[in-house]
Amino acid sequence: MVDQIIQSDGLIKEFPMGGLFKARSKDPFAKKRVLDGITFDLPKGLSLALLGPNGSGKTTLLKTLSTIYSPDGGEAQICGYDIVDEMKEVRKLISFVSPAMDFQKKLTLKQTLDFFVKVTNGDMALARDFIEELQLDHLWNTKLETFSEGQKAITRLCVGLQKNPAILFADEPTSGIDFRRKQIVLDFLEKQGKERTLVLVDHSPDVVDQLCDKILLIALGGTVQGMVDVTKLQNEFNYMYDIMVIPKDQMTEKIAEKIWHRYEMIGGMCRFFAGSRAEVTDIHDKIIEWGGFIDFKTSGISIEDITLMWLAKHEKELEVKLEEERKKVKQAEQEKLAKQAKRRNKRK
């Protein structure tokens, strides 16, 4: 019985250098490392959001776990199956959806879905449900060449879903879908609940909040910055907006405290955090009443920002946990070596 639906242990992916890099490099076989030892576990029944800056390797990680790319080091198991040695088993269990996925333009929606249902032994009823729920059944006999970007995004998701996969890997699946339909997509995916694990790259907080239990933050260079529970984030950081204040002179903590209790000092500036529009208005009023500012600016907080704040706040306890894990691994290695030595001695 496997408790982890995904186990990734030191996954490495490299690409050949191209263009200028290749021209400048002395080694014609020089490679660029894009994933540099990705290690994490995802327990069964939970869904995951991959977050991180552009170019950090999110899409590469999705493609490597989905067996589209083969890793250059480390290993990973999906439902207990190795992504390299048991690729066939893995492929039966997963779907991969990406904006780069293109279809035969001359085929209709029905012909396209018929094709994928046939080759993947999929579930046409599930595909129909999805299309009907999104009120796109009028497009059933329309050629894909006339589809809008949003309609194509829905078709891609539908192709991924009809296979009824245990894990749906999806790269920015809701981009291009209008607000109302996006909510229907989220509700549809949520309804399927624990039957299906979702591994998504999606920067919108509403998608992550509604569909994901955990966030894996990837840093530039393709390393894991940390893994965080979404509920812990929501409980600890009920922030949606930040208000950055540039003071005329120094802003003291005492003044900041008087304006609003959730704040951080950055250099000579102060950043206030608000959970709603009403709180923003309240903070604006108090800043104006205080009057000692050159300027202040309000913006929505990205979910990456909140995750980074959580990781910074919990840095110490995470380090302790990591140290405990390192000790366990070391102990297991020592026990293994001791057993091997014992066996060797017996043989003598």
Q: Which tokens in the block code for residue 232?
A: 């812990």
Contacts of the segment 183-187: beta carbons below 8 A, 24+ positions apart: 184/133, 184/134, 185/134, 185/154, 185/157, 186/210, 186/211
> Which uninterrupted H or E stretch holds 132?
helix 124-133
Residue nearest to Mg ion (CB): 59
Looking at beta carbons only, is 54 or 250 nearer to ligand ATP?
54
How far out from the chain centre does Cα 253 lie? 36
Looking at 59, 64, 67, 98, which residue binds ligand ATP (CB under 6 A)?
A: 59
CA–CA gap between residue 306 and residue 240 (Å, rounded): 9
Looking at beta carbons only, is 52 or 122 nearer to ligand ATP?
52
Q: Where are the beta strands (DSSP E) in 159-279?
A: 167-171, 197-201, 214-219, 223-229, 241-247, 263-266, 269-274
Looking at 40, 47, 52, 198, which residue binds ligand ATP (CB under 6 A)?
A: 52
- Our CA angle for 94, 229, 236, nearest 5°, is 155
Question: Which partner, Mg ion, ligand ATP, none, binds residue 55 by CB below 5 to 8 Å per kind?
Answer: ligand ATP
- Our CA angle for 301, 307, 309, nearest 5°, is 80
Question: Which partner, ligand ATP, Mg ion, none, binds residue 60 by CB below 5 to 8 Å per kind?
Answer: ligand ATP
CB 55 to Mg ion: min, Å:
8
CB 172 to Mg ion: min, Å:
7
Question: Which partner, ligand ATP, Mg ion, none, binds residue 160 by CB below 5 to 8 Å per kind?
Answer: none
Pick the closest to residue 171 from 298, 343, 54, 288 (CA basis).
Answer: 54
Q: Does 59 bind Mg ion (CB under 5 A)?
A: yes
Q: Does 55 bind ligand ATP (CB under 6 A)?
A: yes
Question: Which partner, Mg ion, ligand ATP, none, binds residue 45 by CB below 5 to 8 Å per kind?
Answer: none
Q: Does 60 bind Mg ion (CB under 5 A)?
A: no
Looking at 58, 91, 163, 182, which residue binds ligand ATP (CB under 6 A)?
A: 58
Helix (H, G, I), strand (E, B) or coil at 299: strand
Q: Which tokens in the block code for residue 259?
A: 């304006």
Contacts of 300 (CB under 8 A, 6+ apart): 240, 241
- Interface stretch with Mg ion, choices 55-63, 89-97, 178-186, 224-232 (CB under 5 A): 55-63
- Interface stretch with ligand ATP, choices 49-57, 249-257, 314-322, 335-343 (CB under 6 A): 49-57
- β-pairing verdict for 94-97 and 167-171: parallel
Judged on CB neighbours under 10 Å (0-12, 13-18, 19+), 327 is exposed
Q: Does 71 bind ligand ATP (CB under 6 A)?
A: no
Q: Does 98 bind Mg ion (CB under 5 A)?
A: no
CA–CA gap between residue 240 and residue 334 (Å, rounded): 48
Q: Does 112 bind Mg ion (CB under 5 A)?
A: no
CB 59 to Mg ion: min, Å:
3
Binding mask 14-33 for ligand ATP (x = CB under 6 A): -x------------------
Q: Does 54 bind ligand ATP (CB under 6 A)?
A: yes
CB 220 to Mg ion: min, Å:
13
Strand 241-247's sheet: what is its strand order?
263-266, 269-274, 241-247, 293-300
Looking at 7, 8, 47, 56, which residue binds ligand ATP (CB under 6 A)?
A: 56
CA–CA gap between residue 84 and residue 25 (Å, rounded): 30
Answer for the pair 173, 202: CB distance below 8 angstroms, yes or no.
Answer: yes
CB 54 to ligand ATP: min, Å:
3
Binding-site ranges for Mg ion (CB under 5 A): 59
Binding-site ranges for ligand ATP (CB under 6 A): 15, 34, 52, 54-60
